[in-house]
Structures are given as C-alpha cells and as structure tokens.
Amino acid sequence: MTTISDGADTDPVAGLTDLLEAAAPAGVAGRPDSARPARRLAVVTCMDARIDALGDLRLDHGDAHVIRVAGARIVEDVVRSLHLSTAMLGVRGCLVLGHTSCGLHDADGTLAGRLRALDPMRRDWASFSDPAEAVAEDVGRLLAWPHRPDPWAVAGGVIDVADGSVQVVVPPTSA
Ligand SMILES: [Zn+2]
C-alpha cells in the first residue's frame, strides 16, 4: 500500500473497501468476553498513526480502554469517555500518553494561527508548546477530577514515535 502525504490521489472508496474486506471474519476465538478492561486501566493517547497503543505498551486485547484524541489532551469528549470507563466499567487508573513530533505541538508558536485559519470559530484545539508539560498538566487535571473514582491513580508519559520508548513524565500517582 502506498502512503501519499496529502491524499490527493488516493481513492478513499477503494481504501474503505479493502479495509472491510480484510476485516476478521466472525467466529474468531479468544476475544475478550467482557467490556470491562481486564487490567482496569485506560490509556489516553493521540490518534497519530505511528502509535500502536496496545503493541507499544505490551497490552493484550481487552486489557485497557484506549481513548484516542488529537494531541492526547484531556478535552471534553475524553472526560465523557472516562466517566463511562470509571463509573460503569471498573477503570481505576489512567495513563496519559503524549508523543514526540505531535501535530499539535506548537514548537515555534505558529501553529495556533494556522489552526485558527482552519476554523475561526473553534477555540479548543488544545495545542501545546511542550509535550511533557502538556502531559503533566493533564495528569494534574485528572488527579483533581471531581468525579474520579476511589481508588484512582494517574500516570503520564511521552512515547517516542521513532523507537517506541516511553519517557515517564509523571510516575503513577494516587489521587
Ligand atoms: Zn499527536
């Protein structure tokens, strides 16, 4: 399969057709039988295609909720998912996992203007100037979350998309 950076000469219908035709057939054995993550953990990470959330973290299918959102930021829709993870599905720990060379990393201060040009009405792009600082800030928000369960612990890290190594920014911390 060829990857085209701007997508201009890709055929999205063919891409979706290939995707659906290659999807696993029904009846595959060994799938998790519970919606509750076996390790009672959630991972919030970016949608970046270079991150293999399960493989990079050595998680098995069914171990954790993986909540993916641009920039791995704790935005409103992530909180919505975490409400369900914690209140209904037994999750008691969350890893916030940012990454190197993220598209929302505003390294030189020019990204905010380009994002505004995409959609002047939108203010919540959640870009950041430093990946580790953004992770630490969001870990702090989750530790102080008024709806956090008990027990509740949060950790933060930054994964290097070049080699999959994880730099721990905030070690596991109980609320
Ligand atoms: Zn990213």
Q: Which residues pair with 94 in a beta bridge?
A: 42, 154
Tens of each residue's pLDDT in the chain, 175 residues: 344 467 778 899 999 999 999 887 777 778 899 999 999 999 999 999 999 999 999 999 999 999 999 999 999 999 999 999 999 999 999 999 999 999 999 999 999 889 999 998 988 899 999 999 999 999 999 999 999 999 999 999 999 999 999 999 999 999 9
Residue 53 lies in a domain: yes
50 is a domain residue = yes
Q: Determine whether 79 is exposed, middle or buried from the number of CB atoms within 10 Å of its CB (0-12, 13-18, 19+).
A: middle
How many angstroms does the Cα of residue 44 sit away from the middle of ligand 1? Answer: 11
What pLDDT does residue 5 have? 60
- Please give the distance, rounded to the nearest whole angstrom, from the Cα atom of residue 149 to the centre of ligand 1: 28
The verdict on residue 49 lying in a domain is: yes
> Which structural domain, as residue segments, surrounds residue 60?
35-174
Tell me if 6 is assigned to some domain: no
The Cα 86–Cα 75 span in angstroms is 16
Say how many Å lie between the CA of residue 9 and the centre of ligand 1.
Answer: 24
52: in domain: yes
Domain count, the chain: 1
Q: Identify whether 19 is part of a domain.
A: no
Residue 144 belongs to domain with CATH number: 3.40.1050.10
Residue 42 lies in a domain: yes
**Would you say residue 160 lies in a domain?**
yes
